[in-house]
Amino acid sequence: PQVEVSMVREVQVSDESYICTEEIAGSDIAKEIIKSDREKFICLHLNNRLQLISFEVVSTGSLTASIVHPREIYKSAILANAASVIFMHNHPSGDTEPSVDDLEITKRLEKAGEILGINVLDHIIVSRKGFYRF
């Protein structure tokens, strides 16, 4: 069997650099997931000039959890030729404090990114009450 993998660009490359957490937390992408009644985990892919090249909703979970695995996170980042990534997920409860699981997966994703040579710039939790950055 033959397998073909292709990357569909969802976002045009911007001329602006996305390094400001407040800007990302207030972005249209964040506004969309804040509306969700379930946790959504998003990976934003950036080029070597810190410009957004694409993003992917990696996981849609339940009210209190979203299953995330490094293999799924980095698959699209590699296909997008991302130099860096920013993770973002929502907390439907409105509480932006990270859970124990949030802290553990962030460490695990940072280690995987280090091995792959993809820099993790940030992990942001967003809710209707604000945001938290790791």
Q: What is the pLDDT of residue 129?
A: 92
Q: What is the pLDDT of residue 13?
A: 47
Amino acid at 76: S
- The helix/strand/coil state of 38 is coil
CA-nearest of 67, 53, 42, 64 to 18 is 53
Average pLDDT score over residue span 32-60: 93
Domain boundaries, the chain: 21-93+100-133
Q: What is the pLDDT of residue 20?
A: 66
List, for residues 87-106, the tens digit of each pLDDT value.
999 999 999 999 999 999 99
- pLDDT reading at 62 higher than 70: yes
Instruction: Work out the burial of residue 100: count CB atoms within 10 Å of its CB; fewer than 13 is exposed, 13-18 middle, 19 or more buried.
Output: exposed
- pLDDT reading at 5 higher than 60: no
Q: How far is CA 77 from the centre of its chain?
A: 10
Q: What is the pLDDT of residue 11?
A: 46
- pLDDT reading at 117 higher than 80: yes
Q: What homologous superfamily is domain 21-93+100-133 in, according to CATH?
A: Cytidine Deaminase, domain 2 (3.40.140.10)
- pLDDT reading at 115 higher than 70: yes
Binned at pLDDT 50, 70 and 90, residue 112 comes out as very high
C-alpha distances (whole Å) from 39 to each of 34, 102, 120 are 9, 12, 21
Average pLDDT score over residue span 5-31: 64
The pTM assigned to this predicted structure is 0.83
- What is the overall mean pLDDT for the chain? 86
